[in-house]
Amino acid sequence: MNSIRIKILEELIDNKDTFLEIEELSRISGISNEILSDHLSKLNDIGIVDIKKGNIKKYKLNMKDKRVLALNMIENLEFIRKSS
């Protein structure tokens, strides 16, 4: 997995309870909309990202996916480690 996708996943983990528009993800990640769209599509294809379709697509992690749950646990453990 490349560093762009890792950055996207980090931002989605930080906002795991919220569907985010691509513009918002672009702003907080510093990644262009075009690159985000490509990577989010691939992450959706493998079940890691959910897409809420409407006038504007919104993205969030699929918290039912075991890989996402594992990433979330790692993030929580890292937070605890840094807080200690």
Residue for token digits 């979330």? 72
Distance, CA of 49 to CA of 13 (rounded, Å) = 11
Q: Which of 5-14, 24-33, 38-47, 69-78 has the lowest mean pLDDT?
A: 69-78
Is 81 a residue whose pLDDT tops 90?
Answer: no
Task: Please tell me the pTM assigned to this model.
Answer: 0.84
Distance, CA of 50 to CA of 80 (rounded, Å) = 27
pLDDT tens-place string over residues 26-65 = 999 999 999 999 999 999 999 999 999 999 999 999 999 9
Strands, DSSP E only, in the chain? 20-21, 49-52, 58-61
The CATH number of domain 3-83, selected from 3.90.380.10, 3.40.50.11750, 1.10.10.10, 3.30.930.10: 1.10.10.10
